[in-house]
Amino acid sequence: MSEQKFDVVVVGGGPGGYVAAIRAAQLGFSTAVVEREHLGGICLNWGCIPTKALLRCAEINHLMRHADQFGFTVEKYSFDFKKIVERSRKVAAQLSGGIKHLMKKNKVTVFEGHGKLLGKGKLDVSKDGKNVATLEAKHIILATGARARVLPGLEPDGKRVWTYKEAMTPQEMPKSLVVIGSGAIGIEFASFYHNMGADVTVVEVMDRIMPVEDAEISAFARKQFEKQGMKILTGAKVVRLDKTENTVTVHVEAGGKTEKITVDRVISAVGIVANTENLGLENTKVKTDRNHIVVNQWLETDEKGVYAIGDVVHGPWLAHKASHEGVICVEKIKGLPDVHPMKKENIPGCTYCTPQVASVGLTEAAAKEKGYDVKVGKFPFIGNGKAIALGEPEGMVKTVFDAKTGELLGAHMVGAEVTEMIQGYVIGKTMEATELDFMHTVFPHPTLSEMMHESVLDAYGKVIHM
C-alpha cells in the first residue's frame, strides 16, 4: 500500500478520463488515472472503435455482393468470420496501447484498480479486494462511464442472448438474430450482421426507429433497411424469451397481438446504466438523478473538489462529448480565461450503419415545438454527381434554419459518408454561422459535400441542381 498526493486524480481511463488526464498534465498538474479494466474504456475497447472495424468488413462484403454494378465479376468468394473478429480486436488493442504511450509521454501516473472516494480529497484504489494505493488530491474527476441496461426477463446469458460485448466477439456467425432496440448501438449491430448475411429483425418499442433523429431521416433510413431485406417492428415490445440449446424464441407484442420469432441469437441494446455503484458517493455531497451524477455547466458536483464527466453524467452519451467535457473541466480548474461551457445542441451524433446517419442540433419538429418559424431545405443524393459515381444514390441532406435570423438550428443526413460530412455543419453551428455564410462558401466539386450547400440553398428557394 502507498499513499500518494496529486493535483488531479481521474477515476476512469475512457475517452473522457484519459483526455482529462492528458489536458491536466499539459497544464502543469501532477496527474493520476485510476482504471480498473482497460485504458481507453468501453469506447476504445468494446464500443466505437472495434465496431467500426467490424462495420468496415461488412461494407466490404456489401460491395463484393454488388461488384457487378461496378463492372467486376466475382464468381466465388468467402470470408473468415474468425479473422474478421480478430482484426477488430487487434485494432482495439493497438489503440489501447497507444493510450498507454500517451499516459507515459505526458507523465500521467496510472493505477490499476477500482477507485472509491473516502471523503474530502481522498481516494482508495483496490484490486481483487486488496488496497493497492490511497491517493490524495485537491481535484478528483469521476469518469467511470456506463454499462448496458438489462431489462427483467431479457437478461443476457452471453451465449444466446448477447450484450454488445458478445456481439463483438462471437464464436461463429449466426444465421438469424433479433436486435432489441434501434438506437445507434442496436442499428449498427443490425446493419453489420445483416450485411454479413444474417436474417435480422429489429424490435423497437417507440413508433419509429432511431427515435432521437429527425422523423424524415428516420423514415428514410427505415425504408432503406427494409429495401435491403432487414425486418423492422416498431411500436413493439419483447415480452418473453424462450431459450433452447441453440435457439431463442422471441415473443414480440405489438398492436395487441403477440408474434413469435425463433432465431439463433438475440442482441439486447436498450440503453445504458451509469457506473455509480461502489464509488463512495455516500461519503460525499454528490447527488444523482436517475442514476446519473448531477453536475453544473463546469462539471462540478455538489462536493467541492469532485467533478464528473462522460456517460456517468446526463447525456448525450457520446465519446466525443465526454472528451470535450474532460477538457472543459480541467481548463476551468486551471482558471483559463477562455473556457466555455458546452452547448449540447452543438454536439453531433453519428450512426455508422448502411446507410449512415448523422445529425446536429434541433430536428424540424423540435424547432417548431420551441416556437421557431423555420425554413427547411433538402437535397437528395440522387442529384449529386459524386454520389452517383460512387454508386451511392440513396440519401438525403436536410437543414433547418430560423426564418427570422438565418441561424442554423439543425442539420440531418442519411447516406454514404455523412458521418464525415456532418462536421461542416457542426463548425458552422459553433461559429453561429447564418444561411449567408453557408451560401457564400465555395464547396469543392465533385464531392458529396456539395449537397450540404444545395440543402441550404433549397431552404431559401435558390437550389441549383434539383
Kindly tell me if the per-residue pLDDT of 2 is higher than 70.
no
Say if residues 273 and 291 touch (Cβ distance below 8 Å): yes
Domain residues of the chain, as ranges?
A: 3-148+273-334, 161-270, 355-459
Say if residues 274 and 152 touch (Cβ distance below 8 Å): no
Cβ atoms < 10 Å from Cβ of 153 = 10
pLDDT, one tens digit per residue, over 116-149 is 999 889 999 999 989 999 999 999 999 999 999 9
The Cα–Cα gap between 301 and 338 comes to 22
pLDDT, one tens digit per residue, over 79-111 is 999 999 999 999 999 988 899 999 999 999 999
For 282-314, give the secondary structure using H, E and C. Answer: HHCCCCEECCEECCCCCCECCCCCEEECHHHEC
pLDDT value for 48:
87
Annotation says 251 is catalytic: no
Kindly tell me if the per-residue pLDDT of 8 is higher than 90.
yes
Tell which wins on pLDDT, 107 or 1. 107
Kindly tell me if the per-residue pLDDT of 227 is higher than 60.
yes
Kindly tell me if the per-residue pLDDT of 390 is higher than 70.
yes
- Helix 48-65 to helix 81-105 angle (10° resolution) is 150
Pairing of strands 349-351, 146-148: unpaired
**What Å distances lie between residue 222 and 82, 84, 120, 215, CA to CA?**
30, 27, 51, 11
- CA 450, distance to chain mean position in Å, is 26
The Cα–Cα gap between 192 and 88 comes to 13
Kindly tell me if the per-residue pLDDT of 153 is higher than 60.
yes
Confidence of residue 239 (pLDDT cuts 50, 70, 90): very high
pLDDT value for 194:
97
The Cα–Cα gap between 320 and 326 comes to 10
What is the average pLDDT across 215-224? 98
pLDDT value for 323:
97
pLDDT, one tens digit per residue, over 306-344 is 999 999 999 899 999 999 999 999 999 999 999 999 999
Is the pTM of the predicted complex or chain greater than 0.75?
yes
pLDDT value for 1:
53
Placement of cell 450547400 in the chain: 453
* Average pLDDT over all residues of the chain: 95
pLDDT value for 41:
83
- Would 3-148+273-334 and 161-270 be classified into the same CATH topology? yes
Query: What is 150-183 written as a DSSP string?
Result: --TT----SSSEE-HHHHHS-SS--SEEEEE--S
Beta strands in 264-395 (DSSP E): 265-268, 272-274, 288-289, 292-293, 306-308, 349-351, 356-361, 374-380
In this structure, what are the phi and psi dihedrals at residue 276, rounded to the nearest 5 degrees?
-110, -5
Residues contacting residue 187 through CB under 8 Å, at least 6 positions apart: 179, 202, 209, 210, 221, 351, 353, 357
pLDDT value for 42:
80
SS3 content of the chain, % helix, strand, coil (to 5): 35, 30, 35
pLDDT, one tens digit per residue, over 12-53 is 999 999 999 999 999 999 999 999 988 888 878 888 899 999
Which fold is adopted by the domain 355-459? Enolase-like; domain 1 (3.30.390)
Catalytic residue among 139, 292, 445, 465: 445
What is the average pLDDT across 368-397? 98
CATH classification code of 3-148+273-334? 3.50.50.60
pLDDT, one tens digit per residue, over 354-370 is 999 999 999 999 999 99
The Cα–Cα gap between 107 and 15 comes to 18
pLDDT, one tens digit per residue, over 162-212 is 999 899 999 899 999 999 999 999 999 999 999 999 999 999 999 999 999
CATH classification code of 161-270? 3.50.50.60
What is the average pLDDT across 451-459? 98
